[in-house]
C-alpha cells in the first residue's frame, strides 16, 4: 500500500521562510530569498522520503500563498501592476501586501479565509483585460528541482473549478472565453509536465465539498471533460474539508486516475465510497486528521480501511499538513504529554506505521492501543456542574440594545463618527526583546512593569494628542491575542516551536486544549486599569472571545466543541465582570474567528455551530450593566450571509475588516436593516502602505452613503501590532484628519 500527503508545511522547522521573506522586504535580495526557498524544499522532500512516504508532492511550497501562485502562473495580474515596471517577485508581493513607492501605489488584493481554517488566501481578480495563459514557470521549476535531486514528485495545483469559484470575476468578463482559456492553460500545464517526465499531477478541488447546485456540478464536469481528454499524464483529483455528495457520481465517472477523499470531516464519504467506487481508480483515502494534532487511534483507522479492503487504496491525510506545526520533536513538553501529539512530521510517520501494521507489524498496533487504553485527563466535576446550572438568563442582557444606546449616549457624549483603534499598537523589536528578557528571568518584575507602564503612558498621551475618542492601552504585555489568554487559563498547553502559517509571513502557535478550562486569576485588569488612570477618556478593556480562542486552538477530541466553548465563555465572563468592577466602561471582546468553523454546508450552520457559538459569546457579556458598552471585532471573513446571527450577538458596537473588500458588507447591513453601531475598517493594517487623507476621506464618505452617521464608528481594519511605528502613527493621524474633514463638511451641510 502506498502513502502520501496532499501537502507539507512551508514555513520551515524554525520559520526560515518567514524570516527570509521579511528580510527580502528590506533588502530585496532575490537571490538570497530564492536560495532559502530551494533549501527548504530540498529539506522537506528529503524528510518525506526518509520517513517512508512513497508519493511526494511538489509545488505545495509558496513564498506567500498558493492561490496567488496560481494567479501568477496563469498571468492573472491586475492592470496597474502589469505596467508598473516591477520585477515578477515584487509584483507578486505587491498583490499580497500592496506597494507604495514613487513609481507605483497599489492596494493589496482582498484576503479571505481558506474554507474552515485559519489560513488566509489572496483573492485573484479576473477582469475584461485579463489574458489567461500559462506564463509562469514555478510548477515546472520545482518539479525539475526535485527530479535533479533524485526525487520523483507529484506536482500540486489548485484546480480550475476551485480557482474560478474563489476568484473575483468582474461582470464584463466573457464567460465562454474565460472557460476556454482556463482549460487551454491547464492542458498546457499537463502537457509540459508530461514532457518534463512527470507521471502524475494533483489538482486540488476543495470547492467540491461545498453545497453545489446541478449547474455547479455540470460546470465542473464540462471543465474536466475537456481537460482530461487525452490527458498526457495521470491526474489525481484531491478534495478535503468535507465530502463531495453532490458531485460524487460525476467525479467517479470522469477519467481521473486517482480520487482523494476526506474520511475525517467528510460525514458521508464512507457511505459514498461503499455505494460504489471504480476498481480501475486509486482511492487516496484521507484517514489521518490533517488539521488536528492528536495521535491517530490505529485500530479505528484499520477498521475503517477493512470496510474498503476490496479497493485500491493509497493512505493519506485528510488535507494538506499546512495547518499543523512542523514536529513534536522540537517541543519541551513532558514526554508523557508529547506522546499524545502528532504534528506534520509525525503524521507522515503514522502513515508509514499504518502501512507497516497492514503488512503484519502487530507490535506497533499494540503499542498504539496501549496509548488509548487509559484516561488522558480527569473530568472537572465542578465545571460540569457550572455548565449544568446555566439558565436562559445567563445568555441575555437585561436591557435592550435601544435602551442601552440611549444610556451610553448620555454617558459618553461622543461626537459624530467616534474614533478608536482595534486594540494593539506596534510590537517593536524592543517590546518583544523586553518580554523575552522577562520570560527568561533576566529582568525582574519591577523592571518589566516599569517598561510596560512607560509604553502605555507614551501611547495613551499620543492617542490623546491626535484626538482619538476611545483609547486602548496597546497590549505591549501580550504576545498573541489567543496565546496570552490561554497561558493564564488552566487546561491549555502551549508549544515552544509549534508555528502554523496564518497568512504570508504571519505564523501563530495555536494552543492545545488539553483538559477542562478554568480562569485562575484576573488576566487583563492590572494594565487596563493603569491605562485608564492616565486619561479622562474611556480606555477599552481588550479581551479575546471564547469562540475565537476555540477556533484558533487545537481542540480536544474526547468532548464536543460546545462543551469546550462554554467552559471558555465562563472564564472570559469572569474577566469581563472584573474589568467592569475596576471601572472600565467599555470592553471589547474580539471574535475575529467567529465564522472560521462555520460548516461549509449551509444546512449544517445552526445545528452544528451557530446554535452554540452565538450563545457562547452572549454568555460572556450578558451580566454587565446597562451603561457598560460592549464592543466586538471580526476580521478577514465573509459575514454577509450571517448578518442576523451577528445581530444576535447583542453587542453595542461591532468593528470589522472592510478595507480590502470595498465596503461590500455595508450594502448587506443596510438591506437587512442592521441596527448595531458598526466600525468598518477604513485602512488595511496588513499592508505597509500608508493611506492618504484624501483617500480616507473618500472611504468615510462612501461609508456614509451606505449607513447613517449616528451608526458609524471610524477605525482601522484590525490591530496594529504587525505595523511599524511610523506607519501606524501616520496612518492614524491621516484617519483623524479625514474624520475631522468629514465632520466639518457635515456641520456645514456639505
Tens of pLDDT, residues 551-561: 999 999 999 99
Cell of 32: 538570497
Query: What is the pLDDT at residue 416?
Result: 94
List, for residues 597-624, the tens digit of each pLDDT value: 899 999 999 999 999 999 999 999 999 9
Query: What is the pLDDT at residue 636?
Result: 62
% of the chain residues with pLDDT over 70: 99
Task: Specify whether 686 is catalytic.
Answer: yes
All structural domains of the chain, each given as residue ranges with its CATH number in brackets, are 2-371 (3.20.20.210), 381-390+401-745 (3.20.20.210)
Query: What is the pLDDT at residue 102?
Result: 76
Q: Where are the beta strands (DSSP E) in 214-354?
A: 234-238, 258-262, 282-288, 313-317
Residue 62 has pLDDT above 90, yes or no: yes
Query: What is the pLDDT at residue 663?
Result: 78
Reported as a pLDDT band with limits 50, 70 and 90, residue 378 is confident
List, for residues 268-301, the tens digit of each pLDDT value: 999 999 999 999 999 999 999 999 999 999 999 9
- Whether 8 and 49 have beta carbons less than 8 Å apart is answered as no
Whole-number Å distance between alpha carbons of 5 and 92? 27
Dihedral over Cα of 564, 567, 573, 574: its sign: negative
List, for residues 626-679, the tens digit of each pLDDT value: 999 999 998 865 788 899 999 999 999 999 888 777 777 888 899 999 999 999
Active-site residue among 14, 686, 734, 740?
686
Q: What is the mean pLDDT of residues 530-548?
A: 97
Query: What is the pLDDT at residue 637?
Result: 56
- Whether 201 and 153 have beta carbons less than 8 Å apart is answered as no
Whole-number Å distance between alpha carbons of 720 and 239? 36
Residues β-bridged to residue 519: 489
Whole-number Å distance between alpha carbons of 714 and 703? 10
Whole-number Å distance between alpha carbons of 212 and 234? 26
Query: What is the pLDDT at residue 470?
Result: 97
Reported as a pLDDT band with limits 50, 70 and 90, residue 85 is confident
Q: What is the mean pLDDT of residues 338-348?
A: 97
Q: Which residue positions form the known binding site for L-homocysteine?
A: 422-424, 475, 590
Reported as a pLDDT band with limits 50, 70 and 90, residue 498 is very high
Q: What is the mean pLDDT of residues 349-362?
A: 97
Q: Which residue positions form the known binding site for L-methionine?
A: 422-424, 475, 590
Residue 144, H or E segment: helix 138-148
Q: Which residue positions form the known binding site for 5-methyltetrahydropteroyltri-L-glutamate?
A: 15-18, 113, 118, 552, 596
Query: What is the pLDDT at residue 749?
Result: 63
Q: Which residue positions form the known binding site for Zn(2+)?
A: 633, 635, 657, 718
Residue-averaged pLDDT of the chain? 95
Q: What is the mean pLDDT of residues 131-155?
A: 97
Q: What is the mean pLDDT of residues 410-438?
A: 95
* DSSP string for residues in 318-357: SS-GGGS-S-GGG--S-HHHHTTB--HHHHHHHHHHHHHH
List, for residues 316-334, the tens digit of each pLDDT value: 999 999 999 999 999 999 9
Reported as a pLDDT band with limits 50, 70 and 90, residue 579 is very high
Amino acid at each position: 500500500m502506498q502513502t502520501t500527503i496532499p501537502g507539507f508545511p512551508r514555513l520551515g522547522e524554525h520559520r526560515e521562510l518567514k524570516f527570509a521573506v521579511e528580510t527580502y522586504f528590506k533588502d530585496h535580495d532575490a537571490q538570497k530569498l530564492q536560495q532559502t526557498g530551494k533549501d527548504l524544499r530540498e529539506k522537506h522532500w528529503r524528510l518525506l522520503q526518509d520517513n517512508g512516504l512513497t508519493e511526494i508532492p511538489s509545488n505545495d511550497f509558496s513564498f506567500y500563498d498558493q492561490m496567488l501562485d496560481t494567479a501568477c502562473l496563469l498571468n492573472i495580474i491586475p492592470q496597474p501592476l502589469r505596467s508598473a515596471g516591477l520585477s515578477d517577485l515584487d509584483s507578486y508581493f505587491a498583490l499580497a501586501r500592496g506597494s507604495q513607492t514613487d513609481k507605483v501605489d497599489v492596494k493589496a488584493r482582498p484576503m479571505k479565509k481558506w474554507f474552515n481554517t485559519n489560513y488566509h488566501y489572496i483573492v485573484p481578480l479576473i477582469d475584461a483585460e485579463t489574458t489567461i495563459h500559462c506564463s509562469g514557470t514555478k510548477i515546472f521549476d520545482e518539479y525539475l528541482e526535485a527530479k535533479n535531486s533524485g526525487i520523483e514528485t507529484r506536482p500540486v495545483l489548485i484546480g480550475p473549478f476551485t480557482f474560478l469559484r474563489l476568484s473575483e470575476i468582474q461582470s464584463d468578463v466573457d464567460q465562454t472565453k474565460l472557460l476556454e482559456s482556463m482549460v487551454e492553460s491547464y492542458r498546457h500545464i499537463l502537457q509540459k509536465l508530461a514532457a518534463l517526465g512527470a507521471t502524475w499531477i494533483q489538482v486540488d478541488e476543495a470547492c467540491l465539498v461545498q453545497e453545489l447546485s446541478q449547474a455547479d456540478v455540470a460546470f465542473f464536469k464540462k471543465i474536466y471533460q475537456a481537460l482530461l481528454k487525452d490527458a498526457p499524464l495521470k491526474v489525481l483529483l484531491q478534495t478535503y474539508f468535507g465530502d463531495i455528495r453532490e458531485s460524487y457520481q460525476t467525479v467517479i465517472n470522469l477519467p481521473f486516475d486517482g480520487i482523494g477523499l476526506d474520511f475525517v470531516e467528510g460525514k458521508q464519504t464512507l457511505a459514498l465510497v461503499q455505494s460504489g467506487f471504480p476498481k480501475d481508480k486509486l482511492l487516496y483515502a484521507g484517514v489521518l486528521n490533517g488539521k488536528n494534532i492528536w495521535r491517530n487511534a490505529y485500530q479505528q483507522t484499520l477498521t475503517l480501511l477493512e470496510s474498503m479492503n476490496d479497493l485500491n487504496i493509497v493512505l493519506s491525510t485528510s488535507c494538506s499538513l499546512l495547518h499543523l506545526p512542523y514536529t513534536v520533536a522540537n517541543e519541551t513538553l513532558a514526554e508523557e504529554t508529547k506522546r499524545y501529539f502528532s504534528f506534520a512530521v509525525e503524521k507522515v510517520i503514522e502513515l508509514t506505521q499504518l502501512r507497516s501494521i497492514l503488512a503484519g507489524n502487530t507490535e506497533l498496533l499494540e503499542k498504539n492501543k496501549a496509548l488509548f487504553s487509559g484516561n488522558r485527563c480527569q473530568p472537572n466535576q465542578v465545571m460540569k456542574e457550572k455548565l449544568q446550572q446555566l439558565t436562559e438568563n445567563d445568555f441575555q442582557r437585561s436591557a435592550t440594545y435601544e435602551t442601552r444606546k440611549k444610556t451610553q449616549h448620555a454617558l459618553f457624549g461622543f461626537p459624530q463618527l467616534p474614533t478608536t483603534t482595534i486594540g494593539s499598537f506596534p510590537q517593536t523589536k524592543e517590546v518583544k526583546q523586553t518580554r523575552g528578557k522577562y520570560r527568561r528571568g533576566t529582568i525582574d518584575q519591577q523592571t518589566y512593569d516599569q517598561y510596560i507602564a512607560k509604553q502605555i503612558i507614551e501611547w495613551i498621551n499620543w492617542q490623546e494628542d491626535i484626538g482619538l475618542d476611545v483609547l486602548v492601552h496597546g497590549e505591549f504585555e501580550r504576545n498573541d491575542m489567543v496565546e496570552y489568554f490561554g497561558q493564564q487559563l488552566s487546561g491549555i498547553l502551549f508549544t515552544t516551536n509549534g508555528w502554523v502559517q496564518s497568512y504570508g509571513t504571519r505564523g501563530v502557535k495555536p494552543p492545545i486544549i488539553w483538559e477542562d478550562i478554568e480562569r485562575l486569576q484576573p488576566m487583563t485588569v492590572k494594565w487596563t486599569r493603569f491605562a485608564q488612570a492616565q486619561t479622562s477618556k474611556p480606555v477599552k478593556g481588550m479581551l479575546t472571545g471564547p469562540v475565537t480562542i476555540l477556533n484558533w486552538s487545537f481542540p480536544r477530541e474526547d468532548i464536543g466543541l460546545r462543551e469546550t466553548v462554554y467552559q471558555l465563555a465562563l472564564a472570559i465572563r469572569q474577566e469581563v465582570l472584573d474589568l467592569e468592577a475596576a471601572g472600565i466602561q467599555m470592553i471589547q471582546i474580539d471574535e475575529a474567528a467567529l465564522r472560521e468553523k462555520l460548516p461549509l454546508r449551509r444546512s449544517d450552520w445552526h445545528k452544528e455551530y451557530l446554535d452554540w457559538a452565538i450563545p457562547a459569546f452572549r454568555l460572556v457579556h450578558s451580566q454587565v450593566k446597562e451603561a457598560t458598552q460592549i464592543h466586538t471585532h471580526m476580521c478577514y471573513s465573509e459575514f454577509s450571509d450571517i448578518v442576523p446571527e451577528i445581530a444576535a450577538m447583542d453587542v453595542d458596537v461591532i468593528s470589522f475588516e472592510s478595507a480590502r473588500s470595498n465596503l461590500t458588507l455595508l450594502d448587506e447591513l443596510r438591506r437587512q436593516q442592521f441596527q448595531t453601531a458598526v466600525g468598518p475598517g477604513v485602512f488595511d493594517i496588513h499592508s505597509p502602505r500608508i493611506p492618504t487623507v484624501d483617500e480616507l476621506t473618500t472611504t468615510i464618505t462612501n461609508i456614509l452613503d451606505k449607513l447613517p452617521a449616528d451608526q458609524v464608528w471610524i477605525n482601522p481594519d484590525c490591530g496594529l501590532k504587525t505595523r511599524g511605528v511610523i506607519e501606524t502613527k501616520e496612518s492614524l493621524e491621516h484617519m483623524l484628519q479625514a474624520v475631522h474633514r468629514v465632520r466639518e463638511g457635515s456641520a456645514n451641510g456639505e
